[in-house]
């Protein structure tokens, strides 16, 4: 789990973290920050899928090149 350290935190530590984040970023910035993180996550997943497709395509074309040689 990526956020495994959260399992060791108690409820008071989580409340303090949420309050500090709220004070640092403010009410307007938090939704914008969450939205941008969501978009970045989507773009990252999209890039992974495209990379896997390109890799599979390259592996499929590799035997054809060896037969021609």
Both tokens of residue 42? 């989507």
Range of the domain at 57: 4-68
Q: pLDDT (tens digit, 9 = 90+) per residue, 24-42? A: 888 788 888 889 989 999 9
Is 22:30 a contact under the CB 8 Å cutoff?
A: yes
Q: How far apart are the first and last CA of the chain?
A: 47
- Count of domains in the chain? 1
Angle, CA 48 vertex, CA 42 and CA 52 arms, to 5°: 145
What does the pLDDT read at residue 63? 67
Long-range pairs for 53-57: beta carbons < 8 A, 24 or more residues apart: none
Q: pLDDT at residue 2 above 80?
A: no
What's the whole-model pTM score? 0.51
Q: If you search the block for the tokens 């390259």, which residue do you land on? A: 58
Is 21:30 a contact under the CB 8 Å cutoff?
A: yes
């Amino acid at each position: 789990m990526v956020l495994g350290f959260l399992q060791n935190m108690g409820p008071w530590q989580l409340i303090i973290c949420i309050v500090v984040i709220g004070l640092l970023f403010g009410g307007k910035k938090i939704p914008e920050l969450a939205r941008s993180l969501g978009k970045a996550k989507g773009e990252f997943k999209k890039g992974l899928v495209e990379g896997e497709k390109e890799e599979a395509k390259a592996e499929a074309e590799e035997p054809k090149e060896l037969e021609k040689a």
